[in-house]
């Protein structure tokens, strides 16, 4: 999110996010079968049914944080007895559910018929969905996806696939609807095509000055989370990539006098996007890439997109279960980061130690050491919470960011 006026893709994004949430409420009120899912759950699978709609509490929590109501929602959960040390996404969601979505920009989420969590990002999410399972009396399906320390093993993929088949049977039994594989194929084709445009958009970060900021990419992730598998998803990312190409051709760059190219590690600081990007731009610095967004559409530890072969969509969904960073071991994380650092010609890395997301943060000190000692890349560690603004200090963050810029400058040839 740069401080420049909104682009067509920015306006279009606002429109389709609003439409998607309102459509969700409308279809739920008209009898659709509603599932709540963790972000890793393959949403294309639901397109195989006539009338199943999904919503993503993590994404809804991020939207709350971006709209400035993260702390308000967190406090509701804390008053119910949930610890302030719990992930802020969980606290926002539990807080929002507690009063029927009163402060939510989307009026909350429609009540689910089924909860589907996934173990491969974190086990906290399973416990969080268990709270809803108990409070709402709704069934909870847990997808158990193994952590990965190397490319996915065949036996792990088969284990995941068996669970997808079980999930399909469960939805069929609960909703009374039949699963149609052809529809799931079309949805997966849409996802794969949209990701081609998404990757084109991200690759404008390779230019000097960069054609994008990581803040733009954070904001533009939303369709990947809430409208995968749809024509709307493809159309949006096509618009985004084409508009960015035109802007670059016309010489429009988010930080035209860019002098420092930085890389971000961890979830986006949703409550600080505008302020942080503007303050950095004033220092002629741009965070041009992030592990959080580069991993989308890839498989473990790679930089380029993983291609769909047009065959079994469940195979593709199972193979891409390890795209996100959290389930990766140390060597995969380092491999992915150094690849991005080289391709984007990065001057320094910002490790955002996240008080909420322990699975993302736990390896960061080792990763920082590897990047600095083995690869000679200057790096700092800052303290953030991705959705709870009460745990963020601009002053101490920018003291460290300025120190990073000074270190980069001091290493440059006179
Ligand atoms: S702890 Fe991290 S991975 Fe787990 S739900 Fe929170 S943000 Fe997601």
CATH number of the domain that residue 20 is part of: 3.40.50.11890
Distance in Å, CA 252 to ligand 1 centroid: 35
87 domain-assigned: yes
23 domain-assigned: yes
C-beta 174 within 6 A of ligand 1: no
3 domain-assigned: no
Residues in the chain: 414
Residues 389 and 269 in one domain: yes
Q: Looking at the predicted structure, is the pLDDT value of residue 413 above 80?
A: no
The domain boundary, picked from 180, 213, 245, lies at 180
Distance in Å, CA 142 to ligand 1 centroid: 16
The domain boundary, picked from 161, 180, 199, lies at 180
1 domain-assigned: no
Question: DSSP readout, 69-135?
Answer: -HHHHHHHHHHTT--TTS-HHHHHHHHHHHTTSTT-TT---PPPSEEEEETTT-SHHHHHHHHHHHH
Return the axis-axis angle of helices 88-98 and 124-136, rounded to nearest 10°: 10
385 domain-assigned: yes
- In this prediction, residue 90 has a pLDDT band, given cuts at 50, 70 and 90, of very high
pLDDT tens digit string along 234-250? 999 999 999 999 999 99
pLDDT tens digit string along 193-205? 999 999 999 999 9
Name the closest-CA residue to atom 7, ligand 1: 357
C-beta 62 within 6 A of ligand 1: no
Question: What distance in Å separates the CA atoms of residue 381 and residue 179, rounded to the nearest whole number?
Answer: 47
C-beta neighbour count of 111 within 10 angstroms: 13
Residues 144 and 201 in one domain: no
Residues 188 and 175 in one domain: no
Residues 391 and 261 in one domain: yes
Question: What distance in Å separates the CA atoms of residue 353 and residue 361, rounded to the nearest whole number?
Answer: 5
Residues 128 and 212 in one domain: no
Residues 173 and 188 in one domain: no
Distance in Å, CA 4 to ligand 1 centroid: 31
Rounded to 5°, the CA angle 346-293-276 comes to 65
Overall average pLDDT of the 20-35 stretch: 98
pLDDT tens digit string along 355-366? 899 999 999 999
Residues 157 and 197 in one domain: no
Question: What distance in Å separates the CA atoms of residue 110 and residue 127, rounded to the nearest whole number?
Answer: 20
Residues 327 and 389 in one domain: yes
The domain boundary, picked from 180, 211, 239, lies at 180
pLDDT tens digit string along 285-342? 999 999 999 999 999 888 889 999 999 999 999 999 988 888 898 999 999 999 999 9
137 domain-assigned: yes
Question: What distance in Å separates the CA atoms of residue 66 and residue 46, rounded to the nearest whole number?
Answer: 27
pLDDT, residue 193, reads 97
Q: Looking at the predicted structure, is the pLDDT value of residue 103 above 90?
A: yes
146 domain-assigned: yes
Question: DSSP readout, 201-246?
Answer: HHHGGGSSS-S--HHHHHHTTHHHHHSTTSHHHHHHHHHHHHHHHH
Pocket test for ligand 1, best of 91, 126, 326 (most atoms within 8 A of CB): 326
Q: Looking at the predicted structure, is the pLDDT value of residue 1 above 70?
A: no
C-beta 262 within 6 A of ligand 1: no
Residues 86 and 201 in one domain: no
Q: Which helix (H) or strand (E) holds 353?
A: strand 348-354
Domain count, the chain: 2
The closest-lying atom of ligand 1 relative to the alpha carbon of residue 38 is 5
Residues 307 and 287 in one domain: yes
What percentage of the chain has pLDDT greater than the value 70?
A: 98
C-beta neighbour count of 345 within 10 angstroms: 13
C-beta 357 within 6 A of ligand 1: yes
We report the CATH number of the domain holding residue 237 as 3.40.50.11900
Nearest to 36 by CA among 92, 109, 94: 109
The closest-lying atom of ligand 1 relative to the alpha carbon of residue 39 is 8
Residues 164 and 40 in one domain: yes
pLDDT tens digit string along 168-187? 999 999 999 999 999 999 99
- In this prediction, residue 412 has a pLDDT band, given cuts at 50, 70 and 90, of confident
For residues 361 and 391, the answer to whether their CB atoms sit within 8 Å is no
- In this prediction, residue 2 has a pLDDT band, given cuts at 50, 70 and 90, of very low
Burial of 213 from C-beta contacts in 10 A (0-12 / 13-18 / 19+): buried
Q: Please say whether the dihedral angle defined by the alpha carbons of residues 312, 313, 314 and 319, taken in this order, is positive or negative.
A: positive
Q: Looking at the predicted structure, is the pLDDT value of residue 229 above 80?
A: yes
Question: What distance in Å separates the CA atoms of residue 266 and residue 277, rounded to the nearest whole number?
Answer: 16
pLDDT, residue 121, reads 86
- In this prediction, residue 224 has a pLDDT band, given cuts at 50, 70 and 90, of very high
Model confidence pTM above 0.75: yes
Residues 56 and 171 in one domain: yes
Print the domain residue range for 321: 183-412
pLDDT, residue 5, reads 61
């Amino acid at each position: 999110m740069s401080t420049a006026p909104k682009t067509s893709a920015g306006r279009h994004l606002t429109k389709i996010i609003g439409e998607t949430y309102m459509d969700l409420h409308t279809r739920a009120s008209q009898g659709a079968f509603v599932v709540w899912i963790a972000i890793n759950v393959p949403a294309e699978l639901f397109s195989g049914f006539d009338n199943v709609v999904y919503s993503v509490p993590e994404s809804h929590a991020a939207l709350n944080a971006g709209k400035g109501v993260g702390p308000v929602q967190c406090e509701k959960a804390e008053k119910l007895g949930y610890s302030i040390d719990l992930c802020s996404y969980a606290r926002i969601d539990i807080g929002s559910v507690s009063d029927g979505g009163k402060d939510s920009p989307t009026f909350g989420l429609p009540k689910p018929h089924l909860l589907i969590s996934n173990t491969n990002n974190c086990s906290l999410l399973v416990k969080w969905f268990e709270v809803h399972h108990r409070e709402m009396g709704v069934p909870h399906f847990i997808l158990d996806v193994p952590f990965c320390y190397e490319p996915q093993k065949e036996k792990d993929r088969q284990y995941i696939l068996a669970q997808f088949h079980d999930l399909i049977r469960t939805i069929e039994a609960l909703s009374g609807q039949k699963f149609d594989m052809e529809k799931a194929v079309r949805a997966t084709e849409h996802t794969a095509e949209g990701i081609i445009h998404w990757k084109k958009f991200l690759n404008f970060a390779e230019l000097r000055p960069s054609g994008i900021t990581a803040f733009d990419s954070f904001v533009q992730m939303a369709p990947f989370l809430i409208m995968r598998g749809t024509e709307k998803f493809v159309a949006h990312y096509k618009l985004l990539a084409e508009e960015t190409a035109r802007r670059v051709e016309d010489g429009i760059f988010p930080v035209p006098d860019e002098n420092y190219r930085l890389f971000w590690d961890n979830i986006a600081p949703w409550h600080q996007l505008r302020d942080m990007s503007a303050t950095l731009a004033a220092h002629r610095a741009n965070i041009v890439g992030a592990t959080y967004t580069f991993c989308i559409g890839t498989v473990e530890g790679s930089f380029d997109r993983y291609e769909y072969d047009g065959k079994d969509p469940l195979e593709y969904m199972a193979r891409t279960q390890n795209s996100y960073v959290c389930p990766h071991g140390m060597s995969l994380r380092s491999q992915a980061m150094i690849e991005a650092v080289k391709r984007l010609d990065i001057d320094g890395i910002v490790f955002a130690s996240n008080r909420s997301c322990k699975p993302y943060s736990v390896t960061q000190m080792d990763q920082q050491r590897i990047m600095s000692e083995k690869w000679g890349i200057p790096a700092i560690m800052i303290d953030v919470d991705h959705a709870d603004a009460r745990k963020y200090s601009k002053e101490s963050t920018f003291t460290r960011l300025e120190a990073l810029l000074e270190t980069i400058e001091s290493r440059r040839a006179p």
